[in-house]
Structure 1
């Protein structure tokens, strides 16, 4: 009897887990990331942002520089515009920062970003990179609405500018609610639309980097399905021919 009760409890927890996960992530509404892996120019701009702003701390140890030739770049372009550390074109995108030192500086070692888009999702990344705000109570001076108490500073602040968090109390259906919103206190080098477009390019590249062969895989999959569809028709006609005299 105890075993049955234990199994029922385990099944209940497993069924309840997705609901709890959904509830935990429901506080921040994620914006839809405009992902387009067929836009080579966007991917090139995203790769440039990645090596200039992300690769200083975050590695992409499962991605090689020469894979960027798939985006329409030559190896000469990669060496000239995207490699600043003396690495070879065939090298992986690693950083020289020591993990132990990074943990002391930021509280945790910056994660590898090769498959971050597959882990977090493009929508989460797109929202996260646009919801940093100034928080003088923290050692790094920044906080994030999507990822509260994050250890990462806002490396793109010169492009976006400085946002501050404002809280407003509103009343709805007789109940008071506190609404948090971000207000631009100091403009950056880019306008809001330009910054959103830049973040979209960066997230587009991060999505591509998580599975560089995705477009090829999809194209091959479509061809295979079409081939199987034609083969099915031929097999069906052949079957009818073999069994036409069988009653």
Structure 2
């Protein structure tokens, strides 16, 4: 099991320090590393840690009242629970939370749950929308990428039997991939329009440094922001989202 790496740990620490919330809620604590990161960022701030097995119908109004929290803009919610992120987004919105961080934001064709990265895989978004044609430039570039990066997705992994490239081969995965639901492209597209309508800002934190400097082959920079400290191996990835 991997847990959070250096880049994501730094990103979580940075966001907590930047937002300075009065309460931090994390769903999915694993071995406690993310709890430790949050504590390092905000030593005096309340942390509520939940597991995916906790009931989803928490009375957040009562929980917040007990801790004297009345301003929901002062609450930071961190998800690292491998659940459908569209579902989690709706849960958070229903509770009134405004600042959300998702740790496992898998790219199209990968991961064990439907992520915001999946949802953003649309033709109208840079790097979104894909071709399943076996002789396409995209297929060849994906094959080259696979040689360098452990989690890079090649054409066969990206596309389902009916050339469904959205989500994970046309499926909306959930709960560590224990649940799968086939979705049409139309439904996938409407999910993106919903997310567009409810988010004020969507931002993917950049890596701290380029992969050839950190030697992290689990991080594919295919659609990631440029790292804070760049390296030289970006040409192949800038050619394809």
The TM-score range, normalised by the shorter chain, is: under 0.3
TM-score, normalisation: structure 2: 0.24
The structure carrying a bigger helix percent of its residues is: 1
The structure carrying a bigger strand percent of its residues is: 1
Name the structure, 1 or 2, with higher relative contact order (CA <8 Å, separation 6+). 1
TM-score, normalisation: structure 1: 0.24
